Amino acid sequence: MKETTLAVTVVVPSLLAKVTGDQRELRVPVEDGATVSQVLDRLAAEYPVLERRVRNELGAVRRYVNLYVDGEDIRGLDGPATLIAPGQELLIIQSVAGG
Amino acid sequence: MATAGTTVLAIGTKKGLWLATSTDRVNWSLSEPHFLMNEIPSIGIDQRGGRTRLLVGARSEHWGPTVFHSDDLGGTWTEPENGAIRFAEEDGAALERIWQLYPDAEDRPGVVWAGCEPISVWKSTDGGEHFELNRSLWAHPDKDQWGAGYGGAAAHSVLPSPADENTVHVAMSTGGVYRSTDGGTSWTARNHGISAYFMPDPNPEVGQCVHKIARDPEVPTTLFAQNHHGVYRSDDNADTWVSIADGLPTDFGFAMLTHPRKSGTAWVIPIKADGERIPPDGRLAVHRTSDGGNSWTRLHTGLPDNEFNVVLRDAAAVDGSDPAGVYFGTRGGSVYASADEGEIFVEVASHLPDVLCVRAATTNDGGR
């Protein structure tokens, strides 16, 4: 039987800590074969404001939000379908933009 | 905390919201910024039901758009967890920007309208905490003829008629003026007489670039429009429009204001031209009519001799006081207020980020 209590660590930027109760690291249970999208879905249930900050209504990651799995930008991998395994880190960070 | 009789001027900019307060509308105090690094393109001040509620449409370049409200004049802000304005999955769209938050008439408590980008109109019945998409306009057969102005494709004006709850006017850039007379069940373009010189057919049914519309306070079937070149009035509920640009230095501009009580009184802030977006001769002035646009008076006392920044469509407002206050802000971050309907202006703030929206009201409840 697969272990279902293992988790990934989601690292939240300081600019969004207010919407996670000032938590900068969130533990999200995942199974082997989970995707970034599924991790975000699970986060959305508990932190709906965080969800709206990171993804729009179409489920797309906002243009100036970057997601890294163990340091690799998911846009260079499989996007939201990128696999993420228990023990890995999902870093949410705003991109360099604005004037 | 503002006390009863305090005028609050909410200033939405490209990088945050400032609240200015005054007890005489001449001497102003400016708050620290709220929502720093969020653009604030829309503000509504809802004073119905003995409560002053500030509604703010905020947008972060990173984190997207959302609506906040405050019932204590900015002391605290609340954001509905699931968002006040959200497209449903079947709509196939994502909210880009909230361009308009408009509390309805006094006898329709709780009703607030929103105009958004992409072009859409929304209605709340709970004071702006949750909005429903008007799906009739969203699925309108003209939709493929609507376009995007430089600022984005948006419904930027939503004007419910205070005399008839079934009548609502909407203005969009580009698309023009639309009217519903059945409470939003159906919508019809109402642009006869308004030029669209930038199109192959300069007199189309649809596609006009209206920048702002405003409704006459005493005669709700009279409306005023500032267009992308063209200043107009309609006396028949927007069925037809006539030019009222004679007497103005130019027919280009963004803002259009009407008086809170006096029929036929309106203000515009002319800009030289589409291709030269500065105040005429670099001299900023407000122009006021008191006869429905038959004649105009240039008002500039207290305004700077040289100003090369424009005033955007929602960066101008009137309050409900007597005499009416007139307020506007420039893309250069200067904000001006007049306590006497535009005769004399004072500078409220300077060197703010680009001003996108201003709204003003005098509290009668100390902000509670």
pLDDT exceeds 90 at position B70? yes
Measured in angstroms, the CA of A3 and the nearest CA of chain B are apart by 32
Segment A64-87 mean pLDDT: 97
pLDDT exceeds 70 at position B108? yes
Measured in angstroms, the CA of B86 and the nearest CA of chain A are apart by 7
Buried b / exposed e over A66-84, threshold 16 CB at 10 Å, is bbbbeeeebeebeebebeb
CA distance B192 to B177: 10
Number of domains in chain B: 1
Question: What pLDDT digit, counting tens, does each position of A65-76 carry?
Answer: 999 999 999 999
CA distance A30 to A33: 8
Share of chain B above pLDDT 70, in %: 98
CB of B285 closer than 8 Å to CB of B279: yes
- Determine the pLDDT at residue B276: 92
- Determine the pLDDT at residue B4: 59
pLDDT exceeds 50 at position B321? yes
CA distance B217 to A81: 55
CA distance B189 to B208: 10
CA distance B268 to B310: 12
Give me the residue label for tokens 């702002």. Answer: B212
Which residue in B62, B96, B130 has the most chain A C-beta atoms within 10 A of its own C-beta, making it the best mutation to test that interface?
Answer: B62
- Determine the pLDDT at residue B2: 57
- Determine the pLDDT at residue B367: 42
A99 touches chain B (CB under 8 A): no
Record the tokens describing residue B47, joined without a space.
């004073």
Q: What is the DSSP letter of B301?
A: T
- Determine the pLDDT at residue B170: 98
pLDDT exceeds 90 at position B136? yes
CB of B169 closer than 8 Å to CB of B223: yes
Of B62, B91, B93, the CB nearest to A62: B62
CATH, domain A7-94, list 3.40.50.720, 3.20.20.140, 3.10.150.10, 3.10.20.30: 3.10.20.30
In sequence order, what are the residues at sequence separation of 6 or more whose Cβ sits closer than 8 angstroms to the Cβ of residue B157?
B100, B115, B169, B170, B171, B210, B212, B213
Question: What pLDDT digit, counting tens, does each position of B339-354 carry?
Answer: 999 999 999 999 999 9
- Determine the pLDDT at residue A61: 97
Of A48, A52, A97, the CB nearest to B64: A52
* For chain A, domain boundaries: 7-94
Instruction: Tell me whether residues B62 and A97 touch, CB distance under 8 A.
Output: yes
CB of B23 closer than 8 Å to CB of B325: no
pLDDT exceeds 60 at position A2? no
CB of B54 closer than 8 Å to CB of B69: yes
For residue B263, give the CATH number of its domain.
Answer: 2.130.10.10
What's the complex ipTM? 0.91
Q: For chain B, where are the alpha helices, taking DSSP H only?
A: 135-138
* Least trusted range by pLDDT, from A76-80, B98-102, B152-156: B152-156
Residue A98 — very low, low, confident or very high, per pLDDT cuts 50/70/90? low
Is residue B368 domain-resident?
Answer: no
Is residue B2 domain-resident?
Answer: no
Q: Which residues of A touch B130 (CB under 8 A)?
A: none
Residue B110, helix vs strand vs coil: coil
Q: What is the DSSP letter of A48?
A: H
- Determine the pLDDT at residue B150: 73
Of B82, B88, B94, the CB nearest to A48: B82
Q: Can you name the residues that pair with B177 across neighbouring β-strands? A: B171
CB of B315 closer than 8 Å to CB of B327: no
- Among residues B196, B170, B165, B186, the alpha carbon closest in space to that of B178 is found at B170
Smallest CA–CA distance from B94 into chain A, residue: A57
The DSSP code sequence of B156-203 is EEEEE-SS-TT-EEEEEETBEEEEESSTTS--EE--BT---TTSSSSS
pLDDT exceeds 90 at position B195? no
Buried b / exposed e over B18-45, threshold 16 CB at 10 Å, is bbbbbeebeebebeebbbeebbbbbbbb
- Determine the pLDDT at residue B232: 98
Measured in angstroms, the CA of B2 and the nearest CA of chain A are apart by 27
Measured in angstroms, the CA of B21 and the nearest CA of chain A are apart by 28
Residues B59-63: contacts with CB within 8 Å, 24+ apart?
Answer: B59/B96, B59/B97, B59/B98, B60/A53, B61/A64, B61/A97, B61/A98, B62/A15, B62/A53, B62/A62, B62/A64, B62/A65, B62/A94, B62/A95, B62/A97, B62/A98, B63/A15, B63/A16, B63/A52, B63/A53, B63/A54, B63/A62, B63/A65, B63/A94
Q: Which residues of A touch B354 (CB under 8 A)?
A: none
**Domain span holding position B92:** 7-362
- Determine the pLDDT at residue B366: 45
Q: Which residues of B touch A16 (CB under 8 A)?
A: 63
Measured in angstroms, the CA of B231 and the nearest CA of chain A are apart by 34
Question: What pLDDT digit, counting tens, does each position of B208-247 carry?
Answer: 899 999 999 999 999 999 999 999 999 999 999 999 999 9
Q: Which residues of B touch A93 (CB under 8 A)?
A: none
Would you tell me how many other CB atoms lie within 10 Å of the CB of residue B317? 22
Is residue B165 domain-resident?
Answer: yes
Q: Which residues of A touch B79 (CB under 8 A)?
A: 49
The DSSP code sequence of B227-273 is ESS-EEEESSTTSB-EE--TTSS-SEEEEEEE-SS-TT-EEEEEESB
- How many interface pairs between A and B have CB atoms less than 8 angstroms apart? 49
CA distance B211 to B253: 8
CA distance B244 to B255: 15
- Determine the pLDDT at residue A1: 46
Of A15, A48, A57, the CB nearest to B87: A57
Is residue B367 domain-resident?
Answer: no
**Contacts with B, A 72-91, CB within 8 Å:** none
Instruction: Tell me whether residues A52 and B37 touch, CB distance under 8 A.
Output: no
CA distance A35 to B72: 43
CB of B202 closer than 8 Å to CB of B195: yes
CA distance B350 to B353: 9
Segment B278-292 mean pLDDT: 97
Encoded amino acid at B50, one letter: G
Pairing of strands A7-11, A89-94: parallel
Which residue in B38, B63, B116 has the most chain A C-beta atoms within 10 A of its own C-beta, making it the best mutation to test that interface?
Answer: B63
